[in-house]
Amino acid sequence: MINQSKVRTKMPEQDPCVRTGNFDEVATGYTEEMAVREALRCLKCREHPCMTRGCPVHNNIPAFIEKITEGAFEEAYQILAETTSLPAVCGRVCPQYLQCEGNCVRGEKGRPVAIGALERFVADWHRKHAGSADEKAAEAAAVKSAGTMADAVNAVTEFMSGAEAAEHKDKRIAVIGSGPAGLTCAGELAKKGYSVTLFEKEEIAGGVLAYGIPKFRLPAEILEQELSNLKAVGVSFETGKTLGKDFTLNDLSNEGYRAVFIGNGAGKSLRLGVPGQELTGVVPAAAFLYDVNVKKEYPDAERIAVIGGGNVAMDACRAAVRCPAAKKVTVVYRRSVAEMPADPAELKEAEAEGVEFLYLTGPVEVIGQDGKVAGLKCQKMVLTEPDASGRRKPVPVQDSEFVLDVDCIIEAIGTQSDNACVDGVETTDRGLIVVDEETLATSKPGIYAGGDTVTGPKTVIAAMGAGRKAAAAIEAYLG
C-alpha cells in the first residue's frame, strides 16, 4: 500500500512565539503513526536516486523506510547503522533539500518523502527503546558474567560490529578533529577493531556539531548519545590537544600511530574588511555561536545585525533572537533572496521567528562610540547581468548609504582552513590540504585528510562521506 498524498506529514514544532524564548529543539519529532504514514509515501523506486545520487554516505533509504512501514523500527536503525555513524545528527542537520530529498522521485510531482525526518525518527526511537550504549555494554557484560567495564566494552563492540572487531587492536590510528569527518572516520575504524584515538583542540568533543550548530537544531543530548556510542565501540578521546601546539605529526609517528586522519575543519573566520571591524561588539559568527552554545554567554545587545546569507548566518540570526537582551535582529545580505545559499526551510524559520532581512545591502563601515559598535553604515546594491559562470555580481548604488542602528554585528561571511599547524603535508595557496581524490591520502605516507580542511566549508554529511572514504583507504593501507 502506498500513501498517494502529495503533501508530506508535517513534523510538530514549537510555536514561534514560544520558541524564541528558549533554546529547546524547535521540531519535536514524528510519532510512530506519523512516521509510518510518511514512510508509506515512498515508491520504493528501482533506481532509488535518493540513495545513489543524493546521499553522500549511500544510506539504504528505500530499505530503512520499508522497515518503518512494517513497524520494524529497530531493524530500520540497523540498516542505517551500516552506513552512518551519526543518524540522529544527519536526520536533523543534513541539507536534505540538496541531497536525498532533492533527488526523491516523489518531489517531481509534489513534496519529496521526508527522508531526514524519518532518519531522525528511527535514530531517536532506537535511543529511547534500545537503551544507551552504556546500558547495552552493561547488559552484554552481564551476559558474559565478567562484570568489568573493559569486558563490557569488548562485549558491546562484538555486539555492534561482529567478530572482525578486536582483530587489529595492535594498530593504532590517530584522528585529528572531532567534527563530522573525524567522528565518522574514527567510528568506522573502531568498529573494524582498530585502536583509534581522537584528538580535539577544544575541551569538548564534537567540533562544529558541538559549538557551531545551535541547540534548538541539535540538542546536546543527541550529540552526547552519538559520542557515547563511539566510546562504546572503543574510540578514545583526547580533548584540549592542538596539532602544532601540543603535538606534531612526527610525534604521533614516534608514539606508534600507524596512520593519521586529519579532519580539523575550516574554522578560521573571514572578516568583513571594512573600517571599524576592530570595535567591541563586532564578532565572527563562529565565536558568537561558541559562546551561546557552549558557554551560555549572550551579548548584552538589543539590536543585532548578522552579515551574510548562508546557513551559518541563519544559525546566528536565530540564536541572536533568543539572546535575552535582543529586541531586533536584522540580516544584511548583498544579493537578493534568489541568490541566498541558506536552506530555504531555515530562512522560513528565521522569518517566522521575527528576524528582519535587508537584501541587496552591503556593509560599508562600522560606526563606533567609546570603542564600541554604535551603528553600521550600509549601502544598497544592485546585481549585474550573470557572468560566464552564471553568477550575478552585487555592485553599489551611488548615494544610497544609510546607517543601521545596531549595537552588535555578527560576521557570517565564511570561514577558511588554517593548516599552518600541519607539518610536511602539501597544502594549496588557500591553506587547503592536497589529497588524492580516490583515497584522500596526503603527500605524506600514512597521513589522510578529508572534510572542510580539504574542500573548504561544505556540509556535515559531505564531511562524513569523506571520513568514511578515508577509513576505507586507511584500512587498505594498513593491510
Shortest distance, position 375 Cβ to ligand SF4, whole Å: 41
CB 324 within 8 A of CB 450: no
Q: How far apart are the first and last CA of the chain?
A: 47
How many CB atoms neighbour CB 82 within 10 A? 12
Residue 102 or 446 having the CB closest to ligand SF4: 102
If you search the block for the grid coordinates 551500516, which residue do you land on?
Answer: 82
The DSSP bridge pattern shows strands 356-358 and 394-396 to be unpaired
- What does the alpha-carbon distance between residue 188 and residue 358 come to, in Å, rounded to a whole number? 44
Task: Tell me the residue type at 356.
Answer: E
Q: Which parts of 145-174 interact with ligand SF4 (CB under 6 A)?
A: none
461 counts as binding ligand SF4 under rule CB under 6 A: yes
CB 330 within 8 A of CB 309: no
CB 122 within 8 A of CB 86: no
SS3 465: helix
| Residue 404, all three cell numbers | 543601521
Shortest distance, position 110 Cβ to ligand SF4, whole Å: 11
Select the span of 70-78, 89-97, 376-384, 410-418 touching ligand SF4 (CB under 6 A).
89-97
**Closest Cα partner for 259 from 66, 476, 47?**
476
110 counts as binding ligand SF4 under rule CB under 6 A: no
**Closest Cα partner for 276 from 362, 358, 361, 372?**
372
What is the chain's length? Answer: 479
Residue 44 or 169 having the CB closest to ligand SF4: 44
100 counts as binding ligand SF4 under rule CB under 6 A: yes
352 counts as binding ligand SF4 under rule CB under 6 A: no
Residue 104 or 176 having the CB closest to ligand SF4: 104
Shortest distance, position 172 Cβ to ligand SF4, whole Å: 29
Shortest distance, position 38 Cβ to ligand SF4, whole Å: 10
CA–CA distance from 173 to each of 185, 229, 240, 263, 342 (Å)?
A: 10, 18, 18, 13, 36
| Residue 180, all three cell numbers | 563530522
Single residue of 106, 172, 215, 469 touching ligand SF4 by CB under 6 A: 106
Residue 59 or 330 having the CB closest to ligand SF4: 59
Shortest distance, position 218 Cβ to ligand SF4, whole Å: 13
Task: Tell me the residue type at 231.
Answer: K
**Closest Cα partner for 435 from 414, 419, 411, 412?**
419
Select the span of 110-118, 240-248, 269-277, 409-417 touching ligand SF4 (CB under 6 A).
110-118
Residue 197 or 455 having the CB closest to ligand SF4: 455
In DSSP notation, 31-82 reads -HHHHHHHHTT----SS-HIIIII-TT---HHHHHHHHHTT-HHHHHHHHHT
Q: Which parts of 19-78 interact with ligand SF4 (CB under 6 A)?
A: 42-45, 48-50, 54-55, 57, 59, 61-62
105 counts as binding ligand SF4 under rule CB under 6 A: yes
Residue 49 or 396 having the CB closest to ligand SF4: 49
99 counts as binding ligand SF4 under rule CB under 6 A: yes
Residue 99 or 379 having the CB closest to ligand SF4: 99
213 counts as binding ligand SF4 under rule CB under 6 A: no
Select the span of 93-101, 147-155, 222-230, 417-425 touching ligand SF4 (CB under 6 A).
93-101
Shortest distance, position 45 Cβ to ligand SF4, whole Å: 3
> Phi and psi (nearest 5°) for 88?
-70, -30
Residue 119 or 315 having the CB closest to ligand SF4: 119
If you search the block for the grid coordinates 519535536, which residue do you land on?
Answer: 28
SS3 170: coil
SS3 365: strand
Select the span of 28-36, 103-111, 253-261, 417-425 touching ligand SF4 (CB under 6 A).
103-111
Q: Which parts of 221-250 interact with ligand SF4 (CB under 6 A)?
A: none
- What does the alpha-carbon distance between residue 183 and residue 38 come to, in Å, rounded to a whole number? 30
Residue partners of 250: CB distance under 8 A and separation at least 6: 423, 424
Shortest distance, position 48 Cβ to ligand SF4, whole Å: 4
116 counts as binding ligand SF4 under rule CB under 6 A: yes
Single residue of 9, 69, 85, 96 touching ligand SF4 by CB under 6 A: 96
Q: Which parts of 254-273 interact with ligand SF4 (CB under 6 A)?
A: none
Single residue of 9, 20, 69, 84 touching ligand SF4 by CB under 6 A: 84
Binding site for ligand SF4 (CB under 6 A): 42-45, 48-50, 54-55, 57, 59, 61-62, 84, 90-91, 94, 96, 99-100, 104-106, 113, 115-116, 119, 461
